[in-house]
Amino acid sequence: MSTAHPYDALTPDLILDAVETFGVRCTGGLLALNSYENRVYRVDTEEHGARVAKFYRPARWPDAAILEEHAFCLELAEQEIPVVAPLRREDGETLCRHGGFRFAVFPWQPGRAPELNRRADHEQLGRYLGRLHRVGASARFAHRPGVTVESYGRESVAFLLDGGLLPDYLVEGYRSLTTLLLDTIDARFAAIAPRGLRLHADFHLSNLLWTDQGPHIVDFDDCRMGPAVQDLWMLLSGTRAEMETQVGELLEGYTQFMDFAAAELALIEPLRTLRLLHYSAWLARRWDDPAFPRNFPWFNTTRYWEEQVQYLREQQALLDEPPLAWMP
């Protein structure tokens, strides 16, 4: 049986030839960047320095969904929100094809990993998020999915159980635990009825590049419709008191540009639980890609699934706790 993967055909020559369709000449300098869902490379050119070429995973998104991602980024960039948006080719296209792959080219944005140790950093990031969400609220995605209990939770659990991935002795416990969790989360979403808007939806520190001028936001590959708090909760860490301080600082900047419904803070632990389920299913769905067993060797081991059950039990307890406090 063949173990070939579509990305096996993505050779250095193909990458360089694709970038040169943008009317530039490549020097041959090529560096693979840290990306697993897609393949992303820094490519050096003679005229314009470095560029970033992103080759989309075959069959993941329809063209219309990728074009919505690009349009959203360009819309944000037009409002001077510091996102790294795709470049247009001379024919006006942002989503291009070469050698059987769909790809886009972006400017190279240097920067360092943020630490967010200062109040001023949280407030500045909050201001940009507020501006991003203000644009996001002005229209809706037509071709991209939402952050929902069904897509992140139930579909993920069904995929994992139907695939026979868990050890037999954990299956029934995992099934009953996730059913209880998802019913609780469903009720929480129904009670709050959060407003849906266009989001980054994967807004964590690894998707921020910090310079002396502040943050630059990258990788809108997972942008979706969802509640505003989806773009806030992954920036929080530490004790409850520390997270309350952080969310207060973020919202101090955020609410200068966009209203925030305090009730959405009760969705933080539900969203964290959904992400745990979604992440496991993502790894399982990508296991045929050789990059995944190589970079995630701990996945699908007995220890992994035992830890996941423990994390979910901890989430069950956290769902019963009061939400983080914020005084507007």
Residue numbers annotated as active site: 202, 219
Compute CA distances 264 → 180, 196, 231, 326, whole Å. 21, 11, 11, 11
Integer Cα distance of 228 and 137 in angstroms: 10
Whole-angstrom distance between the N-terminal and C-terminal Cα of the chain?
Answer: 60
